[in-house]
Amino acid sequence: MDTPLYTALLKHAHRNTYSFHVPGHHNGDVFFDEAKSVYQSLLSIDMTEITGLDDLHHPTGVIKEAQDLVSRLYGSQESFFLVNGTTAGNLAMILAVCEPDEPILIQRNCHKSVFHAVAMAGAKPVYLAPEIDKNMHVPSYVSLSVIEKALASYPNAKGLVLTNPTYYGHAADLNAAVKKAHSYGVPVLVDEAHGAHFVLGEPFPPSSLAMGADAVVQSAHKTLPAMTMGSYFHLNSSRIDRDRLTYYLSSLQSSSPSYPIMASLDTARAYIQDIAEKGTLPVHIAHIEQIKRNFASISSIEVIEPSGYGIKADPLKLILRSKLGHSGYSLQNILESEGIFAELADEYQVLLVLPIGGRRMIKQETVKNIQQKLENTPPDRLPEAVDWTFPSITTLEYPQNEMRKFAKELTDMNKAAGRLHAGNIIPYPPGIPLIMDGERITEEIVQKLSRLIGMDAHIQGLLNGEQLLVYTEEEKS
């Protein structure tokens, strides 16, 4: 299996050359002794743009070859390596299409990086409310009817930004939405961070690339064996200006990109391509199903499946819930006490991301211990559920550049309903804003936020415990 960048780095490392260039560890010759044994092999390929190793920001050699192999596998017009994660890709693809004060249609439960990009561009965000998975109590996909209504209302939109699949594994059929957007000349931009493995086909859902999306960003480090911050950007049509896109990709990413991260993107592609070419996916699916059976054998735990019209669930996502009334956070603590660290917990459940490959299995002793601890841990007194509900299509009352002129003040949470929130409140993970900068605070939001605080959820943007930062809606003097 070809791995042009990884192979070039390995060959250079084996030459035992003298390093009089950055980085400062000089091929691992200079390093903190106590950490050297851990880092040594990686330092040997932690290089810079020397002869033969190409340049990410103007690739003509092994990096270009590696990117072309990714493009060929995924079926894109062109693919790019990202070393600053899917966040950098989301920023670049939105900045590449946005114009100041022009509308862009955005799925309301997108990652925070999408909203940051729109604010940076000075564009006018039009938020599209997702359907709610009533069983899981989480937002999922945007219905076709909402997308059609938004396009009819904003035919000059600069883009339609969707998240597919969701963090919890809801994968929607985007074919009709893509066709409708294209009929208006609107490009479809998809954050497919959790779908880099969809290229393998059944039983995984189809990729947004196969459904005609114009730009797709994937976190290879989330579901493929790539290093953290390693992602792919796929350009898939001429509806997006390539020169403008590459300008932003270069501007937003480090001018000293990590060669180990890029090499892992090269080898992650080779890993997944090898599975496809050798037809070994059924072996990996059997391993995934065995892991699921092990957890399902815990009598006090139930497996929750993503649901919704036309939804296909991603087999790599396993959602577990206590049958005894424990919150997701309590269940997470019990799992961690047995050495099992999940991707995230929320009020109701725990989300696990399963591997494509590997050999580790949950031991029966661990299964018994989890069951025993669940039985011996008092259940939580969960207040009545407060689901996510939003109007189908919303915009901000004030342009973001106008809001920046407003003064801000702290107000008690129980007095905040009706006020204009300043900043983003983001339960993390999954990084989806509960309320965004410039949105009206509702009683429902206050109730849900209060619940999360009571469960010690990690929340970004929360200030002073029980207080929220709000705009006075009067210009600064």
Supply angle C-alpha 134, 139, 143, rounded to 5. 95
pLDDT of amino acid 475: 52
Q: Establish if 386 belongs to a structural domain.
A: no
The verdict on 260 and 338 lying in the same domain is no
Q: Which residue has the higher pLDDT, 473 or 208?
A: 208
pLDDT digit string, tens, across residues 181-190: 999 999 999 9
Q: Establish if 235 belongs to a structural domain.
A: yes
pLDDT digit string, tens, across residues 29-45: 999 999 999 999 999 99
Q: Which residue has the higher pLDDT, 450 or 216?
A: 216
Residue with tokens 């799992």: 335
Task: State how far the Cα of 249 lies from the Cα of 82, in Å rounded to an integer.
Answer: 8
Q: Please check the confidence at residue 153 and state whether its pLDDT lies above 70.
A: yes
Q: Establish if 383 belongs to a structural domain.
A: no
Mean of the per-residue pLDDT values for the chain? 93
Q: How confident is the model at residue 476 (pLDDT cuts 50, 70, 90)?
A: very low
Domain end, chosen from 243, 276, 309, is at 276
Q: How far is CA 110 from CA 160, 174, 179, in A?
A: 12, 16, 21
Non-local (6+) Cβ contacts of 289 within 8 A are none
Q: How confident is the model at residue 275 (pLDDT cuts 50, 70, 90)?
A: very high
CATH, residue 353: 3.90.1150.10
Average pLDDT over residues 425-451: 84
Domain containing residue 189: 4-276
3-class DSSP string for the chain:
CCCHHHHHHHHHHHCCCCCCCCCCCCCCCCCCHHHHHHHHHHHCCCCCCCCCCCCCCCCCCHHHHHHHHHHHHHCCCEEEEECCHHHHHHHHHHHCCCCCCCEEEEECCCCHHHHHHHHHHCCEEEEECCCEECCCCEECCCCHHHHHHHHHHCCCCCCEEEECCCCCCEECCCHHHHHHHHHCCCCEEEECCCCHHHHHCCCCCCCCCCCCCCEEEECHHHHCCCCCCCEEEEECCCCCCHHHHHHHHHHHCCCCCCHHHHHHHHHHHHHHHHHHHHCCHHHHHHHHHHHHHHHHCCCCEEEECCCCCCCEECCCEEEEEECCCCCHHHHHHHHHHCCCCCCEECCCCEEEECCCCCCCCCCHHHHHHHHHHHHHCCCCCCCCCCCCCCCCEEECCCCHHHHCCEEEEEEEHHHCCCCEECCCEEECCCCCCCECCCCECCHHHHHHHHHHHHCCCCEECCECCCEEEEEEEEECC
Average pLDDT over residues 241-257: 97
Q: Please check the confidence at residue 361 and state whether its pLDDT lies above 50.
A: yes
The verdict on 50 and 98 lying in the same domain is yes
Radius of gyration of the chain from its Cα atoms, rounded to whole angstroms: 23
CATH, residue 418: 3.90.105.10
Q: Please check the confidence at residue 477 and state whether its pLDDT lies above 50.
A: no
Average pLDDT over residues 134-160: 96
Could you tell me the pTM of the whole model? 0.94
Q: Establish if 356 belongs to a structural domain.
A: yes
The verdict on 132 and 52 lying in the same domain is yes
Q: Please check the confidence at residue 404 and state whether its pLDDT lies above 90.
A: no
Task: State how far the Cα of 281 lies from the Cα of 287, in Å rounded to an integer.
Answer: 10
The verdict on 166 and 215 lying in the same domain is yes
The verdict on 314 and 250 lying in the same domain is no
The verdict on 176 and 144 lying in the same domain is yes
Q: Please check the confidence at residue 212 and state whether its pLDDT lies above 60.
A: yes
Q: Which residue has the higher pLDDT, 426 or 322?
A: 322
The verdict on 353 and 407 lying in the same domain is no
Cis upstream peptide for 165 (omega within 30°): yes
Q: Establish if 384 belongs to a structural domain.
A: no
Q: Establish if 381 belongs to a structural domain.
A: no
pLDDT of amino acid 444: 86
Domain end, chosen from 256, 276, 296, is at 276
pLDDT of amino acid 59: 98
Among 99-113, 116-130, 407-421, 431-445, the least confident range: 431-445
Q: Establish if 387 belongs to a structural domain.
A: no
Supply angle C-alpha 446, 452, 454, rounded to 5. 100
Q: Which residue has the higher pLDDT, 363 or 463?
A: 363
pLDDT digit string, tens, across residues 73-82: 999 999 999 9
Q: Please check the confidence at residue 465 and state whether its pLDDT lies above 80.
A: no
Domain end, chosen from 347, 376, 405, is at 376
Among 253-267, 286-300, 426-440, the least confident range: 426-440
The verdict on 344 and 227 lying in the same domain is no
pLDDT of amino acid 194: 98
pLDDT digit string, tens, across residues 102-129: 999 999 999 999 999 999 999 999 999 9
The verdict on 146 and 179 lying in the same domain is yes
Q: Please check the confidence at residue 285 and state whether its pLDDT lies above 50.
A: yes
The verdict on 42 and 14 lying in the same domain is yes
pLDDT of amino acid 258: 98
Q: Establish if 436 belongs to a structural domain.
A: yes
pLDDT digit string, tens, across residues 366-403: 999 999 999 999 999 876 666 667 789 999 998 888 88
Non-local (6+) Cβ contacts of 11 within 8 A are none
Residue type for 397, please?
E
Q: Which residue has the higher pLDDT, 262 or 435?
A: 262
The verdict on 29 and 98 lying in the same domain is yes
Average pLDDT over residues 19-23: 95
How many structural domains does the chain have? 3
Q: How far is CA 126 from CA 25, 107, 208, 395, in A?
A: 48, 9, 21, 5
The verdict on 19 and 42 lying in the same domain is yes
CATH, residue 191: 3.40.640.10
Q: Please check the confidence at residue 168 and state whether its pLDDT lies above 60.
A: yes
Side-chain-side CA neighbours of 424 within 13 Å: the count stands at 18
The percentage of residues in the chain with a pLDDT greater than 70, rounded to a whole number, is: 97
